[in-house]
Amino acid sequence: MDLEFSPLPRGDWVLVTGAMANTLNKYQPVRLIGNPIILPKAGKPSRYQEERHHNRVHNFAYKVFTIKKKRPELTTRIHAQISESVSFSVDHNTSTLTHSRIHKYLHADGKAPCVVFWNGNTDKVLIEKLGTKHVKKYLDITTVHHPNNNNYDLVLQDMSRDKQVISKIPIGHYIKKNGGTLNLLECHTLICGQIHEGVVDCHDPVTDVILTKCIFNYIMKTVKPSTIYSYCSGKPIKARGRKKTRKEKREKKK
């Protein structure tokens, strides 16, 4: 799952759009679009109202992204996404960006799901603010950097308080980067590099879900799927990475 949002004053948020998809290949991403949702720090969510929220949302986005972070392209993107979502709601007189739509999709099989994000700390906060319940696990995919050799590990971890690491997989060196974490596209380039159908641009939620899904499936293939399933069913496990080759095992014995 991926959500696109922007901060507001006093700890509030505006949820603009999003996407979600089942991890199985036959399921294509479902876009969440419609009139944006204001998620206050305290209180119930409310719908974005042009005359009431326009200046507040746009001015704060400008202060955060353009002035503070020196990334005006993020301001432009959030403006465009808000405009697209509002226009969709008006033109189609409907919205898929709703708690009921998300809940229905997540619980389509009648079971509590595990939700996977890419660097999704804020996504988790917002999905819970929407009132989403009966989620078995929230899992997060991220990368960690080794400063001594500039290599990266791909990490799958539980988003509960203890942040337990479920798997840690070495994915090598990213030549264009020196330190810090990899962004979604950089990580995908290291492990796959394939141009997937439907990919437009990062920060487009459908694109982000396609790439996150590819990375998660890479983790599932590299680590035993039973390891992930066991953890999601509530069984404690040790963090695992890829299997060692016979050559590596022989070298360790020497």
Q: In the 3-class helix/strand/coil scheme, how is 206-239 assigned residue by residue?
A: HHHHHHHHHHHHHHHHHCCHHHHHHHHCCCCCCC
Q: What is the pLDDT of residue 143?
A: 94
pLDDT band at 52 (very low <50, low <70, confident <90, very high): confident
DSSP track, 118-175: ES-HHHHHHHHHTT----SEEEEEEEEEETTTTEEEEEEEE-STT--EEEEEEEEE-T
Average pLDDT value for residue range 105-124: 92
Specify the length of the chain in residues: 254
Q: What is the pLDDT of residue 236?
A: 55
Q: What is the pLDDT of residue 39?
A: 93
The structure tokens 């299997």 sit at 243
pLDDT band at 239 (very low <50, low <70, confident <90, very high): very low
Higher-scoring residue by pLDDT: 128, 163: 128
Q: Between the ranges 144-153, 175-184, 242-251, where is the mean pLDDT highest? A: 144-153
Helices and strands (DSSP H and E) totals, the chain = 8, 9
pLDDT tens digits, one per residue of 153-187: 999 999 987 788 999 999 988 776 666 789 999 99
- Angle CA 20–23–24, to nearest 5: 125
- The pTM score is 0.84
Residue 43 region by backbone torsions, left for phi larger than 0, else alpha for psi between -120 and 50, else beta: left
Q: What is the pLDDT of residue 238?
A: 54
- In the chain, what is the greatest distance between 2 CA atoms, to the nearest angstrom? 72
pLDDT band at 235 (very low <50, low <70, confident <90, very high): low
Q: Hey, what amino acid is at 231?
A: Y
The structure tokens 């990334």 sit at 71
For residue 227, is pLDDT > 90?
no
Report helix angle 72-92 to 50-61, nearest 10: 160
